[in-house]
Amino acid sequence: MSLLSVRELNIEFYDHDRPERVVRDVSFEMEEGDVLGIVGESGSGKSMTALAIAGLLNRHDMRKSGRIEYMGKDLLTIPREELRKFQGNDISMIFQEPMTSFDPRLRVGTQVEEPLRVHRPEMSDYEMREAAVRTLASVGLDDPEKAYSLYPHELSGGMRQRAMIAAAIITEPRILIADEPTTALDVTVQAQIIRLLEKINMDSHMAILFISHDMSLVKKLCRDVLVMRKGVVVESGRSEKVYSEPENEYTISLMNAIPKKGARSYRPEDNDLSEGDIVEVDGLNVYAGRRKQRRLIVKDASFSVRSGEIVGLVGESGSGKTTLGKAILGINKDVTGHVHCNDPYPQMIFQDPYSSLNPARNVGWILEEPLKLRSGLDRGQRRDRVLEMLETVGLSPDIYHRFPNELSGGQRQRIAIAGALMQTPKLVIADEPVSALDVTVQAQILSLIRELKEKYFLTVIFISHDLRVVYSLCDRVLIMKDGVIVEQGDTDDIYGSPSHPYTRNLLDSSD
């Protein structure tokens, strides 16, 4: 008998004019100790499949059919009371974004203990606390006692993800579902999380179902893989074989969308770049906080950016990349040193367009707003300019009347790019603009940035932690660590012969 057997799983929604089947006849099995990857873009049905296994799909406008058997029991048909005995106990789940999964009002330790309070009520408070601290230590938190007493916002992104994993494994489940657990994490932290999942699998023989849009990550962790598209499994097999010899056209497109070191798709020639610098930074120090909390974030930064080039600014979270970008734009004003930007209208593309776009306004209003700062354009001219820009970023005119929540992640990012270009800047600072996107959408946005760079002769400072993306896009690279630019130079030189140990570590983590 298999540990988990999924047979002809179908999931349909009835909240539209006609039923929408988001998962179609999905079947697979898992044995104890298996590590299975499910790969696909947003909307492929991979997360819906995982949520169904975890028993977390209970909407009234949904219908599920088929079988999900755990130890011979069909999780789709057993009584709700019996299903709860398995949820968070035998079958646990790590969610994509721990900051939204954790309760911000409760300390981390209290939330890590929660599965024990539900499934091990006989344990004393002291025993639960000891178990939580022990589990926090097992997932690699250096000071588990301190982490236990902190609130979620007081942990870094990598620490929060480790705490989320601790909450998922504290009951020693037999199946661990990891839904995009490394999305938007730094490459070094991402590599640490993958190694942690490998260790959990080896030490406890726990079966892991790993959900991702990145085939290269699945290859590192998983022995087997299912590739899903529009709710259907289009290819399956050993990860190594699917990675090296994909057969389905969709799988091939996923593979081709992964930026690869050593195969840059864009190599600028010297005559692509105009003479002169659009940005000059000399001895820049940037501070944050006030009075006793005032801290030095960026330390003695010096570099220049030529007109028409794309410069990558690379480093882990907390390295000072975004703070430096905002200082160049004049958003961060607590600075010493010299910054000269030869552009009166520099713009920034933010990491999360969903939080930077006004949810109460439609796209037309959002894109017209920057034009109101300039005189001489009436309402009709502003509308024409918006429609022209929508076409430029590859969106249809009907997007004009939509609201941000009605758009996909890729469409929202295109709107954010369009907004940054409305005042025709010479300089754009793109802050992690593709970090949370599927690899195929990511490839589309990178291609769009290249096209816009050529069309408008843009200069782009591209902030990222993804070394593969930076290599495929950027002419030069600045490497930041703890607020200091530790290395800078042409992309090929940095990637081919890095001189700083931190750069070498970043490159090793991205392999």
Residue 144 has pLDDT above 80, yes or no: yes
262 falls within a domain: no
CA distance 208 to 251: 22
52 falls within a domain: yes
Residue 17 pLDDT class (50, 70, 90 cuts): low
Q: Are residues 85 and 217 in the same domain?
A: yes
Q: Are residues 495 and 378 in the same domain?
A: yes
Q: Are residues 8 and 115 in the same domain?
A: no
**Of 124, 149, 172, the domain-final residue:** 172
261 falls within a domain: no
> What per-residue confidence (pLDDT) applies to 15?
63
Q: Are residues 278 and 250 in the same domain?
A: no
- Rounded mean pLDDT of 378-398? 92
> What per-residue confidence (pLDDT) applies to 96?
76
Q: Are residues 246 and 334 in the same domain?
A: no
**SS3 of 205-243:** CCEEEEEECCHHHHHHHCCEEEEEECCEEEEEEEHHHHH
Residue 264 pLDDT class (50, 70, 90 cuts): low
CATH code, 14: 3.40.50.300
Q: Are residues 118 and 199 in the same domain?
A: no
CA distance 113 to 119: 10
- Asked whether 197 and 179 are in contact (CB, 8 A), the reply is no
CA distance 14 to 33: 37
> What per-residue confidence (pLDDT) applies to 290?
85
Q: Are residues 150 and 244 in the same domain?
A: no
User: Cβ contacts of residue 89 below 8 Å, gap of 6+?
Assistant: 115, 118, 119, 171, 173
Q: Are residues 148 and 209 in the same domain?
A: no
Element (H, E) at 447: helix 439-456
Q: Are residues 481 and 365 in the same domain?
A: yes
426 falls within a domain: yes
Give, in order, the Cα–Cα distances in Å from 488 to each of 251, 301, 371, 500.
Answer: 36, 11, 36, 10
- Give 219: exposed, middle or buried? Use CB within 10 Å, 0-12, 13-18, 19+: middle
User: Which of 306, 283, 308 is closest to 296 using CA atoms?
Assistant: 283
Q: Percentage of residues in the chain with pLDDT exceeding 90? A: 67
pLDDT in tens, 270-310: 445 445 899 999 999 999 888 888 999 999 999 999 999 99
Q: Are residues 110 and 244 in the same domain?
A: no
194 falls within a domain: yes
61 falls within a domain: yes
User: Cβ contacts of residue 203 below 8 Å, gap of 6+?
Assistant: none
Q: Are residues 68 and 184 in the same domain?
A: yes
pLDDT in tens, 45-54: 999 999 999 9
Residue 198 has pLDDT above 50, yes or no: yes
**Of 172, 203, 228, the domain-final residue:** 172
Domain of residue 126, residue span: 99-172
Number of domains in the chain: 3
pLDDT in tens, 422-475: 988 999 999 988 877 888 888 889 999 999 999 999 999 999 988 889 999 999
229 falls within a domain: yes
Q: Are residues 312 and 445 in the same domain?
A: yes
220 falls within a domain: yes
Q: In the 8-state DSSP scheme, what is residue 272?
A: G
**Of 256, 282, 317, the domain-final residue:** 256
Residue 16 pLDDT class (50, 70, 90 cuts): low
**What is the average pLDDT value for the chain, to the nearest integer?**
90
